[in-house]
Amino acid sequence: MRKILTAVLAIVAAFALISCEGQDPTPAPGTMTISVDKTQIESDGIDMATFTIVDPQGNVITTEANKASVYFKDVKTGKRLPRYSTGFTSIADGEFEFVGIFNGEETSNSVKIKSVNRADYEVFHRNVAIFKLTGTWCQNCPRMTDALHSLDDDAADHSIVLACHSESKGHPFYVQYGTTDLASAVFLAMGETSAVYPTNCYDMASLNTSSSTITISDEIMTRRIDAPAAAGIAISSVALEGSSLKVKAKVKASAAGTYDAACAIVADGLKYEGGYCDNEENLYNSVVLAVNGDNFFSYRANSSFDLSKDQEIEKEFTFKFPEAPSETLLNKMRAVILVHRKNAAGNSEVNNCAECAYGKTLDYRYN
């Protein structure tokens, strides 16, 4: 009798194992579940897959009243979508998987979404130009610098910081632009008469005083969605000729239009004693040392150029110094190329930018 019972139990166990291995992933009744209205979206940052969470009784949890308690988590990265999100958008091709969270409890199932066709919206890698408006005299400015240092890999890889200082003549970080210093010139170019430090200017399209890493990341993402790269940038040379620094670059359009290009020289690890800094060594990074021409912040008709789709143009920029920079300083320098383009409203914005260290080259980056 015991042998028969053992055999029966073995058969039942084997059947249960087979059933589990081939079971439908449909969640068990009595658990909170998530669904999505579409499983494929366009990689344009606009097309959205909307989530719905229901409780064991089938009541919808994703309501306006519950929005502060509902989150959606990327299964692969473990990161939550921004608070109050109702769905998922993307500007990168790929397959994504999400679970829902309500009051700290995860849904028993997940949903998968595929994002496609990014190349239809953007061919080249996009960098957002962040004009960091600060001063060595500003006690609060290190907060902004620290926030920029804390950006995640994706935001950092799609942005370039240009530290535009508000300093008096004679200060080593003072750069004159028009009749004023570089930072003040940004405020004026943006039509802002009241300067607040620190402030970030994103692509000469928006100003924001927030030193929250989350807010900065949101600003970068907004620019990437609103203004995809219409042109790519390659830098073929950053070299010293006598006492002049010469930068040679190429701009290639993925969309026909009128463009303008500008160049700046920035440097890392510059020491200035007595200022407010986010490190004990009093070292400042991404400091703009020189700009070329009067089109650093905006499109200029006298320096603009028309490009058809896939057309390329070469540009050269020369920075003359009273004497040749030392090798130590040269090795701290980078050239930053800015490409301006008018938006749909006719306003000039930075459409893309790229940077290259002294003595190096940079090829086009594609998505």
Whether 22 has a pLDDT exceeding 80, the answer reads no
Report pLDDT digits (tens) over 202-225.
Answer: 999 999 999 999 999 999 999 999
Q: Which range among 18-32, 149-163, 350-364 shows the weakest confidence by mean pLDDT?
A: 18-32
Whether 7 has a pLDDT exceeding 60, the answer reads no
Whether 263 has a pLDDT exceeding 70, the answer reads yes
Q: Which range among 1-15, 277-291, 304-318 shows the weakest confidence by mean pLDDT?
A: 1-15
Beta bridge partners of 270: 284
Whether 130 has a pLDDT exceeding 90, the answer reads yes
Buried b (16+ CB within 10 A) or exposed e, 69-89: ebbbbeeeeeeebeeebebbb
Tokens of 365: 């980056």
Rounded distance between C-alpha atoms, residue 271 and residue 280, angstroms: 11
Between 17 and 254, name the one with better pLDDT. Answer: 254
Q: Give 28's pLDDT tier (boundaries 50, 70, 90).
A: low
Task: State which amino acid sits at residue 178.
Answer: G
- Residue 310's alpha-carbon distances to 34, 124, 160, 254, 349, in angstroms, are 44, 11, 24, 5, 21
Q: Give 1's pLDDT tier (boundaries 50, 70, 90).
A: very low
Contacts of 154 (CB under 8 A, 6+ apart): none
Q: Give 254's pLDDT tier (boundaries 50, 70, 90).
A: very high
pLDDT of residue 15: 35
Task: State which amino acid sits at residue 135.
Answer: G
Task: State which amino acid sits at residue 298.
Answer: S
pLDDT of residue 27: 52
Contacts of 90 (CB under 8 A, 6+ apart): 41, 43, 45, 96, 115
Domains assigned to the chain:
26-120 (2.60.40.1080), 128-357 (2.60.40.10)
- Residue 269's alpha-carbon distances to 147, 255, 329, in angstroms, are 18, 37, 9
Beta bridge partners of 35: 52
CA angle 204, 44, 364 (to 5 degrees): 65
Rounded distance between C-alpha atoms, residue 310 and residue 10, angstroms: 69
Neighbours of 243 (CB within 10 A): 12
Tokens of 166: 């508000």
Rounded distance between C-alpha atoms, residue 4 and residue 1, angstroms: 5
Rounded distance between C-alpha atoms, residue 80 and residue 356, angstroms: 34
Helix, strand, or coil (residue 15): helix
pLDDT of residue 29: 57
Rounded distance between C-alpha atoms, residue 321 and residue 241, angstroms: 11
Q: Give 21's pLDDT tier (boundaries 50, 70, 90).
A: very low
Contacts of 228 (CB under 8 A, 6+ apart): 91, 121, 122, 126
Round the average pLDDT of the chain to a whole number and report it.
Answer: 92
Q: Which residue has the tokens 């620290």?
A: 146
- Residue 165's alpha-carbon distances to 54, 171, 178, in angstroms, are 52, 10, 15
Rounded distance between C-alpha atoms, residue 319 and residue 234, angstroms: 19
- Residue 130's alpha-carbon distances to 90, 151, 159, 216, 229, in angstroms, are 22, 13, 7, 9, 15
DSSP code for 215: H
Average pLDDT of the segment spanning 152-174 = 97
Q: Helix axis angle, 213-226 relative to 141-149, nearest 10°?
A: 70
Tokens of 130: 């962040």
Tell me which residue of 173, 323, 354 sits closest to 240, measured CA to CA.
Answer: 323
Tokens of 61: 């949890």
Beta bridge partners of 73: 80, 99
| Rounded percentage of the chain residues whose pLDDT exceeds 90 | 89
pLDDT of residue 19: 38
Average pLDDT of the segment spanning 54-69 = 96
Whether 12 has a pLDDT exceeding 70, the answer reads no
Task: State which amino acid sits at residue 153.
Answer: D
Average pLDDT of the segment spanning 90-118 = 97
Report pLDDT digits (tens) over 284-308.
Answer: 999 999 999 899 999 999 999 999 9
Neighbours of 194 (CB within 10 A): 5
Helix (H) or strand (E) holding 247: strand 244-253
Give whichever of 5-9, 21-25, 348-352 has the largest mean pLDDT: 348-352
